[in-house]
Each structure stands twice: as C-alpha cells, then as structure tokens.
Amino acid sequence: MAQSARLEFRVRAEAKEQIEHAADLLGLAVSDFVRAAAEARADQVLRNHALVTSVPTDFFDSLLAALDEPAQPNVSLIKAARRRRDLLKS
C-alpha cells in the first residue's frame, strides 16, 4: 500500500457547505470527495501541461519565417501534379 501524506487547507464557510452537500449526494465522506476532486484536477493540469511543446526561440522564429515563405514545389510534387493533369486529360 502506498504511503499517505496529510494535506490541510482552509475554505470559505459557503464552500465547505457546498462541498459537504456534494459529497453527501454522492454518498462519500468529505475527505474522499475532496481528495478525488483534487487528484482529478491535478491529473488534468499535468496532462494539459504535457501537451505543451517547448522549443528554443531561434528555432520557433526560423519555423515561422519558413512558413511565411512562398511554397516551392519539389521534384516529386511536380511529377505528381503532371501525372494528375495527364490522368484528368484522358
């Protein structure tokens, strides 16, 4: 079994009543309700943070500059366009 740790915090009286009511509606102890809610929110924040990709500023700037340049078709793209044009003519 994983070792547990204690976490304490204060809430407004109205928030405490709301939390107690919500926990009661679910048939949970307040501590179980709060723990589950906090763990779910922490998981969500960590997942969202993991989706953010950080890159060096100079790399990002050069990427944006390259995207601003007009498209230059390569040899394969030119051949594919010719094949498509020839197929559509037939």
Tens-digit pLDDT profile for residues 42-78 = 999 999 988 887 889 999 999 999 999 998 899 999 9
pLDDT at 84 over 80: yes
Sequence-distant contacts of 39-42: CB under 8 A, at least 24 apart: none
What residue type is assigned to position 87 of the chain?
A: L
Q: What percent of the chain has pLDDT over 90?
A: 79
30 CB-near residues (< 8 Å, 6+ apart): 19, 20, 23
Q: What is the pTM assigned to this prediction? A: 0.56
User: CB–CB of 24/13 below 8 Å?
Assistant: no
**Of 33 and 71, more confident:** 33
Cα–Cα dist 2/10, whole Å: 26
pLDDT at 33 over 80: yes
